[in-house]
Amino acid sequence: MKKIIANLKMNMTSREIKDYLLKLIVKNTHKNQIILCPPCPYLSLAKFLLNDSGIELGAQNISDEDEGAFTGEISGKMVKDCGAEYVVVGHSERKTKFRESARTINKKIKVALKNGLKVILCVGEQLTDKNLDKTKEVLKAQIEDALKGLYENELDNILIAYEPVWAIGTGKTPQPKEVEQSVKYIRQVICEDFSPKSEKIEVLYGGSIDEKNASSFAKVSGVNGLLIGHTSLDVDHLIQISKSV
């Protein structure tokens, strides 16, 4: 069974989310574990509709603060309270468009774990890093900064999504062989920094996944699932992906 994470990003109205979920519940084959990440205002609605469907819920973001005078922010406690079990942290859109720093990402992970949320930590190189042959260096720094100060047992609640920044929303993807190498390296860094037991950590691939290429990435050795952005906005496409992997 693979994990299929659907990141709906900042899309849809409550009516559209409702239609989407009702269709997803009917069409889901339970062959894979689907984790749906709707916009935060719809988490409670999604929780209510998903009920015992087996589809899990994730938030796309949380604050790096616990609570208090942080106007406009949404806390880890709140998203957990709304029914989310996961939260995406370190997505490249947060890093580039909202200037999230490595320190913020590390703080968010700690807040998420403290509130009983599982973390989907996104890491990945920019195109310039790739062209300069710096992918490994970048991945190592991102992982070490993000997981700084965590205990070995806390890794049980962390999933890593390898998402090359240049592949997100662009229609471009790496070769499956390149994904295999990066995923293997991610595990190696985690094993070296924590313990050989951390080899069990789940690693997913994300970036321009669609119905045609999903199975070739899901098949890559060491890949435990996929993180899907724009293609997941269409339930039929999401289901096709789930069936194909």
Interacting residues with ligand PGA (CB under 6 A): 7, 163, 168-169, 206-209, 227-231
* 163 is known as an active-site residue: yes
- Nearer residue to ligand PGA within complex by CB, 53 or 213: 213
Q: E-assigned strands of 70-219?
A: 86-89, 118-123, 158-162, 202-206
To ligand PGA, the closest distance from the beta carbon of 72 in angstroms equals 22
| Pair 207, 173: CB distance under 8 Å | yes
To ligand PGA, the closest distance from the beta carbon of 241 in angstroms equals 10
- Nearer residue to ligand PGA within complex by CB, 198 or 228: 228
* 192 is known as an active-site residue: no
Catalytic residue among 56, 93, 125, 163: 163
CB atoms within 10 A of CB 202: 17
Three-state SS for 115?
coil
Distance, CA of 76 to CA of 186 (rounded, Å): 26
| Pair 38, 18: CB distance under 8 Å | no
Angle between helices 135-146 and 176-193 (to 10 degrees): 40
Distance, CA of 3 to CA of 158 (rounded, Å): 13
- Nearer residue to ligand PGA within complex by CB, 169 or 176: 169
Q: Which single residue brings its beta carbon nearest to ligand PGA?
A: 229
Catalytic residue among 91, 93, 125, 237: 91
CA 32 to chain centre: 15
To ligand PGA, the closest distance from the beta carbon of 238 in angstroms equals 11
- Nearer residue to ligand PGA within complex by CB, 9 or 187: 9
To ligand PGA, the closest distance from the beta carbon of 136 in angstroms equals 21
Catalytically active residues, by annotation:
91, 163
